[in-house]
Amino acid sequence: MKKLAIVLILSLLFTSCELLNQVAKGIDNVGAMGNVPLTEADVISGLKDALRVSTDSAVSKVTKPNGFFNDQIIKILLPPEAEVITKNLNNPILKSVGISRMIDDVVIRLNKSAEEAAKKASPIFVNSIKSMNISDAFGILRGADTAATNYFRINTSAQLYSEFNPIVKQYLDQALIGGISTNQAWKTLTSSYNKVMQFSSSYKPISTNLDDYVTKKTINGVFIKLADTEKNIRHDPMARVTDILKRVFN
């Protein structure tokens, strides 16, 4: 009777039939495992543990040396409107000003600035986890494979932008190789193109704000890695590195 009562109570908390079946099976195995049934506090603690693991893992991946540049999924390329440059690399005039070398230099620096800015992400995620309420926690637990990532997108994107943007700008303004900053290299690249191609019938000026562009790309890259880690924890038992993670997600 006690077992039935527990299942009925949990059924009020979990709307997912699949999750309810998993919980019921877990209760059947309590005696054999020597564990007590999960409480609401256990579930919330386990979920927050999972979120800490996910965010730490995602941030560590993108902030390692060349974490952005060497990852083809999140590598930051030139802004889309600069595609007109890359399509005209063989233009004799553009070649004469060393356009290819300029592009390579700018791309390397874009990704390095993202790598530096992303180091500010962890404290923001930690604060968001601490402020999570019961409704948020169970909503994530019952949600899709990237429910936690979506939660962070909604609740931390503005703060991430606020923290990342000054770092991106500072880094892109730093004088690096040859005493030229990334923003200067970008301005040289775009102004060279604008000057050379202004008389072309298909000419469209390039005026992307590089700081804003890189900041948004950095945030997106962090969330891509966070989603990957979240899905891994939900589906791969080996990714559940703590006891409470194993209990909640089994």
Q: Taking a C-beta distance cutoff of 8 angstroms, is the pair 91, 229 a contact? A: no
Question: What are the residues whose beta carbons fall under 8 Å from the beta carbon of 15, sequence distance 6 or more?
Answer: 142
The pLDDT value recorded for residue 245 is 63
Q: What is the pTM of this model?
A: 0.72
For residue 11, give Cα distances in angstroms to 21, 26, 169, 233, 250: 10, 14, 51, 24, 17
With b for 16 or more beta-carbon neighbours within 10 A and e for fewer, the 195-213 pattern comes to: ebbeeeeeeeebeeebbeb
Question: In this predicted model, what pLDDT tens digit does every residue of 26-55 receive, in sequence order?
Answer: 434 433 344 556 677 777 877 888 888 889
CA 210 vs CA 79, 164, 248: distances in Å:
8, 13, 43
Q: Which residue has the higher pLDDT, 125 or 137?
A: 125
Q: pLDDT category, 117, cuts 50, 70, 90?
A: very high
Task: Please give the Cα distance from 129 to 146 (Å, whole number).
Answer: 15
Q: What is the pLDDT of residues 189-213, one digit of tens each?
A: 777 777 766 666 566 666 678 999 9
Q: Please tell me the distance from the alpha carbon of residue 47 to that of residue 137, in angstroms, as a whole number.
A: 7
Q: Output the CA–CA distances (angstroms, integers) from residue 158 to 8, 121, 161, 207, in the order listed.
A: 40, 12, 5, 24
* Average pLDDT of the chain, as a whole number: 76
The domain ranges of the chain are: 1-37, 41-249
